[in-house]
């Protein structure tokens, strides 16, 4: 074994012990410092030797160290159950382990045992005692710990801070660890893993929950971890860091960063090791789902589950794979298989994780109802969102962004939990589709039926007493010519017909710049090739939605009060005709059903928007006659004639 890795204070303990067992334990520890996966046979030899020597304290320490190696090595969990059973006597270190470093290893291993048991004992008195004792060693007895024991203790405690969302504990740990890490002390693998745990905990406790942590920059921590891996040729550590980078890039919707990390991960993953393979397949499945490739996502998620099970991965560790696989099965119509998968998770998980899985299981029923009994689907959707809101599950989602967006858009149409739904949309940064309702949290809403108005991020835009007319005229023209892209030449010829080519182009550029400032979202107004258009994934226009969605209210003539161009007049006439057709259709249906009073109210209301529509006047006359009001019918006729 290489002697480049310092033994530290553990030498004192080993020197006080005789026999082959402790020598074998040191060899296992030295191998673990290079690669946890390769160290497992050596731990087995050390345990058996110490057992033969009757050293139960040594056996407990070996078993807990092996649990640490398996849990943090993340290569396989084959044998984890056996090591957990071997270490399942006594929680606190026995009195024979008087060395502080050995006690730190014991306590860190005990926390790893808790993590491997799905975290059901995080708040138990025994676990809190272990945490506090280990924290005391890290805070008060730093000089008594060798660097490796210190780093392992810090890593396990950082994971506890992450699990429990404990920013105060994180700050204490980082303050204690920073001097040692900055001095590059300890085994490189443990140092790299410590930086990795700092990066994960800092992100989860800080930016992910909208809080700032003063002590650490997550990008800097990640860079330090990668630097350790590269300088010391730690390929498996690098693979694990790439997994985390890809995972967090997916969480933050940074598709380019996720794709780069995934491509590099494919080159360094050791597919002979089940867990790295499972992570790779899982991330490939996420990428496929993000691209709306549901069949490919199902394939990769299935491979991730198979690899994790080959590595005897505990349910709590592979829940991401199982959840994604079950969700993909439900999306594909394999509802029974999806239900069985979710039932398996529910049986193993507790607390909020289990409750969220139960909501996911309910989504299987929604998928099925949508096909087999569509009338029940809206009720199921409302119940599912009520449960998600109660759990404050703002990362709620189906398999793909598109399916999630459509599910939430339908909920908004039905008026189901609108504020919570909007929170999910913003959290997941979901893109809209043109058919989505006005209540979707659009970046920009434009009202062109009636008087012109703009909303940016749900707030109305005040034009002021003397607004800049050209940006507004440009926007009105794009609405009139839309929703299809408008040729730049058409825009310039309409708005700057008297200017030569260069001057018109310069004026257009300035108007585009000012309009983007007004809209508050630069990419809401796009230029591609020789065309200019409003991005329908971000901008909702009532005049565009009206022909496609009968629920959109007609609040007046298109750009009422604006003279506009020929395009404005064409759009105005088209929308007025459609409005009259819709009113007549509804009114005539009411008349046929014996409801002339309701039809009359409808026609009269419509005439306030379009008083020149002869067909509406005829409808008013018919209704008065049907109601036995000939005088009113005559007055209605005269109004129409005049």
- pLDDT confidence bin for 620, thresholds 50/70/90: confident
- Whole-number Å distance between alpha carbons of 11 and 17: 10
pLDDT at 87: 84
In a domain, 514, yes or no: yes
Give me the number of domains the chain comprises. Answer: 4
360/423 same-domain check: yes
In a domain, 95, yes or no: yes
Least confident of 219-233, 370-384, 451-465: 451-465
- pLDDT confidence bin for 562, thresholds 50/70/90: confident
In a domain, 615, yes or no: yes
Cis preceding-peptide flag for 317 (omega within 30 of 0): no
- Whole-number Å distance between alpha carbons of 314 and 99: 32
In a domain, 272, yes or no: no
Write the pLDDT tens digit of every residue in 152-191: 999 999 999 988 888 889 989 998 899 999 999 999 999 9
CATH code of the domain containing 572: 1.25.40.10
In a domain, 510, yes or no: yes
Task: Give every CB contact of residue 566 below 8 A, 6+ residues apart in sequence.
Answer: none
Instruction: Give me the percent of the chain exceeding a pLDDT of 70.
Output: 94
- Whole-number Å distance between alpha carbons of 510 and 499: 14
Name 540's bridge partners: 445
Q: The sheet that has 486-487: what strands, in order across it?
A: 486-487, 531-534, 525-528
The pLDDT of 108-136, averaged and rounded, is: 83
203/104 same-domain check: yes
Other Cβ atoms closer than 10 A to 226:
19
Q: Residue 408: exposed, middle, or buried by beta-carbon count in 10 A (0-12, 13-18, 19+)?
A: buried
CATH code of the domain containing 496: 1.10.10.10
Nearest to 492 by CA among 484, 481, 483: 481
In a domain, 141, yes or no: yes
In a domain, 93, yes or no: yes
Task: Give every CB contact of residue 381 below 8 A, 6+ residues apart in sequence.
Answer: 366, 407, 410, 411, 414, 416
581: pLDDT strictly greater than 70: yes
* C-beta of residue 201 within 8 angstroms of C-beta of residue 158: yes
40/123 same-domain check: yes
- pLDDT confidence bin for 125, thresholds 50/70/90: confident
The pLDDT of 320-348, averaged and rounded, is: 95
Tokens linked to 332: 């594909």
In a domain, 314, yes or no: no
- pLDDT confidence bin for 4, thresholds 50/70/90: very low
Domain hosting 632: range is 568-641
- Whole-number Å distance between alpha carbons of 191 and 565: 68
User: Which letter does DSSP use for residue 142 in this model?
Assistant: G
- pLDDT confidence bin for 10, thresholds 50/70/90: very low
15/102 same-domain check: yes
Chain centroid to Cα 608, Å, comes to 47
**Domain C-terminal end among 233, 256, 289:** 233
74/215 same-domain check: yes
Task: Give every CB contact of residue 627 below 8 A, 6+ residues apart in sequence.
Answer: 596, 597, 600
Q: Identify which has the larger pLDDT, 445 or 427.
A: 445
| SS3 of residue 332 by DSSP | coil
455/386 same-domain check: no
pTM assigned to the model: 0.83
- What is the radius of gyration, based on Cα positions, of the chain? 33
93/214 same-domain check: yes
19: pLDDT strictly greater than 80: no
- pLDDT confidence bin for 399, thresholds 50/70/90: very high
């Amino acid at each position: 074994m290489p002697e480049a890795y310092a033994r530290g204070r553990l030498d004192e303990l080993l020197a006080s012990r005789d026999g082959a067992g402790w020598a074998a334990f040191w060899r296992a520890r030295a191998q673990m410092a290079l690669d946890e996966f390769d160290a497992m046979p050596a731990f087995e030899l050390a345990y058996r030797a110490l057992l033969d020597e009757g050293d139960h304290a040594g056996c407990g320490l070996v078993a807990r160290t092996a649990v640490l190696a398996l849990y943090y090595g993340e290569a396989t969990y084959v044998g984890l159950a056996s090591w957990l059973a071997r270490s399942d006597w006594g929680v606190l270190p026995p009195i024979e382990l008087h060395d502080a470093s050995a006690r730190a290893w014991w306590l860190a291993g005990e926390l790893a045992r808790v993590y491997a048991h799905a975290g059901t004992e995080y708040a138990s008195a025994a676990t809190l005692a272990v945490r506090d004792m280990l924290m005391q060693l890290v805070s008060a007895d730093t000089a008594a710990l060798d660097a490796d024991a210190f780093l392992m203790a810090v890593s396990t405690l950082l994971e506890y801070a992450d699990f429990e969302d404990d920013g105060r504990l994180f700050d204490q740990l980082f303050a204690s660890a920073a001097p040692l890490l900055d001095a590059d002390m300890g085994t490189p693998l443990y140092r790299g893993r410590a930086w990795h745990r700092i990066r994960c905990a800092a992100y989860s406790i800080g930016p992910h929950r909208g809080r700032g942590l003063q002590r650490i920059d997550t990008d800097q921590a990640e860079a330090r971890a990668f630097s350790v891996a590269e300088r010391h040729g730690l390929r498996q550590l690098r693979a694990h860091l790439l997994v985390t980078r890809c995972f967090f890039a997916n969480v933050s919707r940074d598709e380019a960063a996720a794709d780069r990390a995934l491509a590099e991960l494919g080159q360094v993953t050791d597919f002979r090791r089940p867990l790295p393979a499972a992570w790779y397949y899982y991330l490939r499945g996420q990428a496929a789902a993000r691209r709306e490739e549901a069949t490919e996502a199902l394939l990769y998620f299935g491979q991730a589950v198979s690899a994790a099970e080959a590595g005897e991965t505990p349910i709590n560790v592979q829940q991401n794979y199982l959840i994604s696989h079950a969700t993909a099965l439900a999306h594909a119509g394999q509802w029974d298989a999806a239900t069985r998968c979710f039932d398996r998770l529910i049986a193993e998980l507790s607390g909020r994780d289990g409750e969220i899985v139960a909501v996911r299981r309910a989504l299987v029923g929604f998928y099925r109802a949508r096909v087999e009994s569509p009338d029940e689907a809206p009720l199921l959707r409302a119940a599912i969102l009520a449960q998600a809101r109660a759990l404050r599950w703002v990362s709620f989602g189906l398999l793909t962004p598109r399916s999630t967006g459509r599910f939430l858009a339908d909920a908004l149409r039905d008026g189901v939990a609108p504020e919570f739904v909007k929170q999910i949309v913003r959290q997941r940064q979901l893109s809209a589709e043109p058919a989505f309702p006005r209540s979707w949290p659009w970046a920009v809403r434009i009202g062109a039926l009636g008087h012109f108005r703009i909303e940016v991020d749900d707030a109305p835009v005040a034009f002021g007493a003397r607004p800049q007319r050209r940006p507004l005229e440009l926007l009105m023209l794009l609405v009139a010519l839309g929703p299809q892209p408008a040729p730049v030449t058409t825009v310039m010829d309409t708005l700057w017909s008297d200017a030569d080519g260069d001057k018109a182009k310069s004026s257009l550029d300035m108007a585009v710049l000012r309009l983007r400032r007004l809209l508050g979202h630069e990419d809401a107004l796009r230029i591609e090739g020789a065309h200019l258009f409003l991005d329908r994934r971000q901008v909702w226009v009532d005049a565009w939605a009206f022909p496609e969605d009968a629920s959109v209210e007609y609040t007046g003539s298109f750009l009422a009060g604006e003279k506009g161009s020929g395009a404005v007049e064409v759009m105005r006439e088209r929308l007025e005709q459609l409005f009259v057709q819709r009113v007549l259709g509804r009114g005539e249906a009411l008349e046929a059903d014996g409801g002339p009073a309701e039809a009359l109210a409808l026609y009269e209301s419509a005439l306030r928007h379009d008083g020149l529509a002869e067909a509406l006047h005829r409808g008013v006359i018919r209704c008065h006659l049907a109601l036995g009001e000939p005088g009113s019918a005559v007055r209605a006729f005269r109004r129409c004639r005049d």
